[in-house]
A and B are shown apart, each in its own frame.
Chain A
Amino acid sequence: MEKRVVFRSAWLPYALVAPQLAITLVFFFWPAGQAVWFSFLQQDAFGLNTEFVGLQNFEQLFGDEHYLKSFKITAVFSALVAFSGIAISLVLATAADRVIRGALAYKTLLIWPYAVAPAVAGVLWAFLFAPSVGIITFVLTKVGVQWNWVLQEDQAMTLVVIASVWKQISYNFLFFLAGLQSVPKSLIEAAAIDGAGPLRRFWTIVFPLLSPTTFFLLVVNIVYAFFETFGVIDATTQGGPAGATQILVYKVYHDGVKSADLGGSSTQSVVLMVIVIALTVAQFRFIERKVQY
Chain B
Amino acid sequence: MVENRPLLTLWSHAVLIVGIALVAFPLYITFVASTHTLEEILKVPMPLLPGPHLWENYSQVLASGTTRGATAPVGQMMINSLVMALVIPLGKMAISVISAFAIVYFRFPLRNFFFWMIFVTLMLPVEVRIIPTFKVIADLGMLNSYAGLTIPLIASATATFLFRQFFMTIPDELAEAARVDGASPMRFFMDVLLPLSKTTMAALFVIQFIYGWNQYLWPLLITTDESMYTSVIGIKRMIVGGDALTEWHLVMATAILAMLPPALVVMLMQKWFVKGLVETEK
B252 within 8 A of A: yes
The 6 closest A-B pairs by CB, nearest first: A31-B132, A117-B214, A115-B262, A16-B102, A34-B132, A13-B106
11 of the cross-chain contacts (CB-CB < 8 Å) are A3-B104, A3-B175, A5-B172, A16-B99, A32-B128, A108-B267, A117-B259, A120-B214, A127-B252, A138-B44, A276-B124
**Contact assessment for B266 and A256 in the assembled complex, using a CB-CB cutoff below 8 Å:** no
B residues at A contact (CB < 8 Å) = 1-3, 5, 8-9, 11-13, 15-16, 19-20, 23-27, 29-30, 33, 41-42, 44-46, 48, 94-96, 98-99, 101-108, 111, 114, 117-118, 120-125, 127-136, 151-152, 154-155, 160, 167-168, 172, 175-176, 179, 185-186, 188, 210, 213-217, 220-221, 232-233, 235-236, 239, 243-244, 248, 251-252, 255, 258-259, 262-263, 265-267, 270, 273-274, 277-278, 281-282
A7-B105, A110-B19 as given contacts; A131 in contact with B243, CB under 8 Å: yes
A79 within 8 A of B: no
Give the residue name and chain of the B residue nearest to A228 (CB).
Answer: B127
How far apart sit A267 and B130, CA to CA, in the bound complex (Å)?
Answer: 12
Contact residue among B114, B118, B131 (Cβ-Cβ distance under 8 Å from A256): B131
Q: Which residues of A contact B124 (CB under 8 A)?
A: 28, 32, 273, 276
Whether B121 contacts A269 by the Cβ 8 Å rule is no
Given A17-B114, A23-B151, A31:B136 Cβ within 8 A: yes
Closest approach, in angstroms, between the C-beta of B135 and any C-beta of chain A?
7
Closest Cβ–Cβ distance, residue A206 to chain B (whole Å): 12
Separation of A235 and B234 alpha carbons in the complex (Å): 11
Residue on A with the closest CB to B268?
Answer: A108
A55 interface residue, CB < 8 Å from B? no
On whether the beta carbons of A272 and B98 are closer than 8 Å, the reply is no
Could you say which residues of chain A place their CB within 8 Å of the CB of B172? 3-5
Beta-carbon contact of B128 and A276 below 8 Å: yes
B46–A133 CB distance below 8 A: yes
Minimum CB–CB distance for B112 against chain A, Å: 11
Q: Does A68 contact B (CB under 8 A)?
A: no
* With A23-B95, A178-B278: A35-B132 Cβ-Cβ less than 8 Å: yes
A67 and B152 alpha carbons, distance in the complex (Å): 29
* Nearest B residue (CB) for A12: B185
Q: CB distance B160 to A35 under 8 Å? A: no
Asked if residues A27 and B259 are in contact (CB atoms below 8 Å), the reply is no
Q: Which residues of B contact A1 (CB under 8 A)?
A: 168
Instruction: Give the chain B neighbours of A118 by CB distance below 8 A.
Output: 214, 216
- Chain B nearest CB from A280 CB (Å) reads 5
> Contact check: which of B120, B152, B263 meets A112 at CB < 8 Å?
B263
